[in-house]
Amino acid sequence: MATKYNGPVVLIIMDGVGIKDIESGNAVTQAKTPVLDNCLANYPWQKLKAHGTAVGLPTDDDMGNSEVGHNAIGAGQVYSQGAKLVSESLESKSMYDSEVWKSLASDAKNGGTMHFIGLLSDGNVHSHIDHLMMMLDQAKAEGIKKVRVHALLDGRDVGETSALTYVDQIEAKLSELSEGDFDYRIASGGGRMKVTMDRYGANWAMVELGWKTHVLGEGRQFASCKEAIETYRAEIPGIIDQDLPEFVIAENGKPVGTIEDGDSVILYNFRGDRAQELTVAFESGADFDKFDRVRVPNVNYAGMLEYDGDLHIPKKFLVAPPVITNTLGEMLADKGIKQLAISETQKYGHVTYFFNGNRSSKFDELTEEYIEIPSDVVPFEQRPWMKSAEITDVLCEKILENEFPFMRVNFPNGDMVGHTGVLESTIIGVESVDIALKRLLAAIDQVGGMAIITADHGNAEEMYELNKDGTPKTDKAGKVKSKTSHTLNKVPCVFYDNTENKDKYSVIDSDDYGLANIASTVAMLLGEEPKACWEKSMIKFN
């Protein structure tokens, strides 16, 4: 017995809203969320795995993230993802057999410098310091004399003031490798939310600042990365690593590592969203119009992965990404089932590109509509409601028009505000999503549809670093340590259905479900047979 809804099946993704019983630092339980509370009390729901092996990451100690989460939701399958792919390639040394690596190494050995740009941490969301360490060892083994590291400081996927932990590690490695005529150093850097790592074109000024810092060597000068961090912390009380200003390492007033003609440049981040804009700046010709690059060095440039498979960004990459096929979006397009995707800029790519298996273009222009609500360029803690109201305005209108049997939406608040580490703002962000839910569910009821309410990973439910007993960790001054990273917690998956169809199916209880189980579930609710390669559905027909 199949379902047939008069209205749409709406997949609502509350980005970064996970489940945790501990109240301390929990913005989800501290927020006033009467709508979500009602859904959890009165509708069937399951807890989904949204991290580790359930989303294709190496181990269950690895936090999930929005990219792999939306890949899993849209694909209905689990693929080896960025960190795991890169680790496998480095451990087997197959990366070094690639023509891309060989050309980078050759140029660096023939008078050039090898530059590594990327996030310096072990957060394993955008990058991993171990990957950089292994490539530095290989560069030394191949006789590359001069290497420069451009260190983007994290404080978002790891502890908010943990930068010196990673700087000390990399400085020790660089010192170890710098013997004889080998010269390996940090050249520049800054906080990831201050320089370089913008995404979706939301703030090209960040990339411009990164270009000036890494390429041109323009910025405040310091003798070392450690000195830069300690100086900024003393000058700007309370600043966390992701917001640290740019810095340039210099000797005798001269930058030690500008990027010049003939150099090799590797962007070692494996995650694509915050790697694409710098890549475009390096690879574009005279038609580049996002900012004045002043000087564009003729370099051999490569990314760790292909960050956009349709647009082929970058042109050269070290590790081939997973080929994700047979996605939910592709199947619906093949069936002629109209579908709509909507979010604001910060997560627009997640409900389109990542949901569709790293594909930029639509499967079918006639049956798909994508709507991007431009995000504000304002610190998220200052405007934690973000664009939730505007997204809801448009989506409610589309629901009532009732032209799309399947719709998907992402509300970024729990994730983007959660990353700031500001509990009070994150509570407001979660409450903003609950307000949106009230309006959306009323519209869905009006046209006879249903909603699956879920999340792509946890974040907002764990805003403090916690001790084993659940109490918050504190620093030497007694201040609670904020947690700005994602979590290892499960996420809710609620089946909101007030139609007669709710009696036609049952939700199957299981502790083994992950995000990849959503695709087959949506297909069945739409009256379609799930693909054999997908993870099993969470529902069965009565």
Which residues are tagged catalytic? 66
What is the amino acid identity at position 104?
A: L
Dist. CA 490–CA 506, nearest whole Å = 21
Distances 294 to 178, 263, 300 between C-alpha atoms, Å: 32, 17, 19
Straight-line distance from the first to the last Cα atom of the chain, in angstroms, rounded to the nearest whole number: 8
Point out which residues pair with 472 in neighbouring strands. 466
The residue written with tokens 């309006």 in the block is: 439
Phi and psi at 402, nearest 5°, equal 60, 50
Q: Are 462 and 468 in contact (CB under 8 A)?
A: no
Q: Give the relative orientation of helices 518-525 and 66-75 as an angle to the nearest 10 degrees.
A: 40
The residue written with tokens 């934690």 in the block is: 384
Burial letters 210-224, b for 16+ CB under 10 A, else e: bbbbbbbbbbebbee
Dist. CA 198–CA 403, nearest whole Å = 34
∠ CA(284), CA(81), CA(132), 5° rounding? 65
What is the amino acid identity at position 337?
A: I
281: Cα separation from own chain's centroid: 21
Going by C-alpha positions, the residue among 418, 413, 421, 424 that lies closest to residue 473 is: 421
Could you please report the per-residue DSSP string of 404-467? -SEEEEEE-HHHHTGGGT-HHHHHHHHHHHHHHHHHHHHHHHHHT-EEEEE-SS--TT--B-B-
Going by C-alpha positions, the residue among 299, 194, 169, 204 that lies closest to residue 247 is: 194
Long-range residue pairs from 251-258, CB within 8 A, at least 24 positions apart, any chain: 251/223, 253/221, 255/187, 255/188, 255/217, 255/221, 256/148, 256/185, 256/187, 257/113, 257/115, 257/148, 257/150, 257/185, 257/186, 257/187, 257/188, 257/217, 258/187, 258/215, 258/216, 258/217
Distances 377 to 40, 201, 275, 380, 383 between C-alpha atoms, Å: 34, 11, 19, 9, 10
10: Cα separation from own chain's centroid: 23
Dist. CA 271–CA 156, nearest whole Å = 15
Q: 3-state SS string over 34-74? A: HHHHHHHHHCCEEEEECCHHHHCCCCCCCCCCHHHHHHHHH
Q: Are 167 and 230 in contact (CB under 8 A)?
A: no
